[in-house]
Amino acid sequence: MVEHLADLPTPLLADACVRLDVPLRVAPAGVRPVVPGQRVAGRVLPVRHHGSVDVFLEAYGSAAPGDVLVIDNGGRTDEACVGDLAVLEAAAAGVAGLVVWGLHRDTAELVEIGLPVFSYGSCPLGPTRLDDREAQTLVSARVGAHLVTADDLVCADDDGVLFLPAARAEEVLAAAARIRRTERTQAARIRAGETLRQQTAFDDYLARRAAEPGYTFRQHLRRVGGAIEE
């Protein structure tokens, strides 16, 4: 299932969540892969960073192959919280990638290592602080407004980072696959000369909206079988 999730772009998964009324949880805009084009999907391995790398090493001890380390550094932009040694150790522990709500450093080395790392960007400064550890340090991580745990999956690509409840991943995956098939068919028809307006009977939509101001384009798309917005 995780392999199939990794094969689906995050926009399709987000659209599937909307269609299924699965709460949307995405990392703040700007969290991107260190190497463009990289993507990762796996179970969340949560950790809260307090200024020392020891929490990462401890988290790796409970990692299952394919887990994705999700680091809560409070979105800080005054320090990097992860670098080449922590990423190398992640690879050695079987971790599939890292998502950082914060910054990384050692960019050249991370590119060479090749393990997917997502963050706000880079900073040469490491942490100089050492905060008190929290009871939830290895239980949950906050990424923006969202709290994630090992009960969640994370999917990340060039468009951003999306979190899904593992219990609903199969139905989200199936819905996203259906949406992708519809969109690919629509794209092929556009290239063949049939415009999107023709495919979606857009003139009919405008006429019905004029008669029924509450009629939305999403309702229309569902009636005609299109897939653009969700």
The annotation status of 173 as a binding-site residue, yes or no, is: no
The annotation status of 114 as a binding-site residue, yes or no, is: no
Q: Which domain holds residue 34?
A: 2-169
Q: For the chain, give the secondary structure using H, E and C.
A: CHHHHHHCCHHHHHHHHHHHCCCCEECCCCCEECCCCCCEEEEEEEEECCCCCHHHHHHHCCCCCCCEEEEECCCCCCCEEECHHHHHHHHHCCCCEEEEECEECCHHHHHHHCCCEEECCECCCCCCCCCCCCCCCCCEEEECCEEEECCEEEEEECCEEEEEEHHHHHHHHHHHHHHHHHHHHHHHHHHCCCCHHHHCCHHHHHHHHHHCCCCCHHHHHHHHCCCCCC
In a domain, 230, yes or no: no
Number of other CB atoms surrounding residue 11 within 10 Å: 17
The annotation status of 85 as a binding-site residue, yes or no, is: yes
The annotation status of 152 as a binding-site residue, yes or no, is: no
**CATH code, 161:** 3.50.30.40
In a domain, 41, yes or no: yes
* Helices 10-20, 169-191: inter-axial angle, 10-degree rounding: 120
**∠219-18-151 over CA atoms, to 5°?**
160
pLDDT at residue 118 in the model: 98
Count how many domains the chain has.
Answer: 2
CA distance 194 to 177: 23
Q: Are residues 163 and 177 in the same domain?
A: no
Number of other CB atoms surrounding residue 219 within 10 Å: 14
pLDDT at residue 4 in the model: 83
Per-residue buried b or exposed e for 43-63, using 16+ beta carbons within 10 Å of the residue's own CB = bbbbbbbbbebebbeebbeeb
Number of other CB atoms surrounding residue 77 within 10 Å: 13
Q: Are residues 157 and 185 in the same domain?
A: no
In a domain, 107, yes or no: yes
Q: Are residues 13 and 82 in the same domain?
A: yes
Per-residue confidence of the chain (230 residues) as pLDDT tens digits?
A: 788 888 999 999 999 999 999 999 999 999 999 999 999 999 999 999 999 999 999 999 999 999 999 999 999 999 999 999 999 999 999 999 999 999 999 999 999 999 999 999 999 999 999 999 999 999 999 999 999 999 999 999 999 999 999 999 999 999 999 999 988 998 999 999 999 999 999 999 999 999 999 999 988 988 887 555 44
The annotation status of 83 as a binding-site residue, yes or no, is: yes
pLDDT at residue 129 in the model: 94
State phi, psi for 48 to the nearest 5 degrees: -110, 130
Q: Say which amino acid occupies 116.
A: P
Q: Are residues 140 and 63 in the same domain?
A: yes
Domain boundary among 169, 188, 215: 169
Instruction: For residue 58, give both structure tokens.
Output: 């401890």
Interstrand relation of 40-48 and 152-157 (parallel, antiparallel or unpaired): antiparallel
Q: Are residues 209 and 197 in the same domain?
A: yes
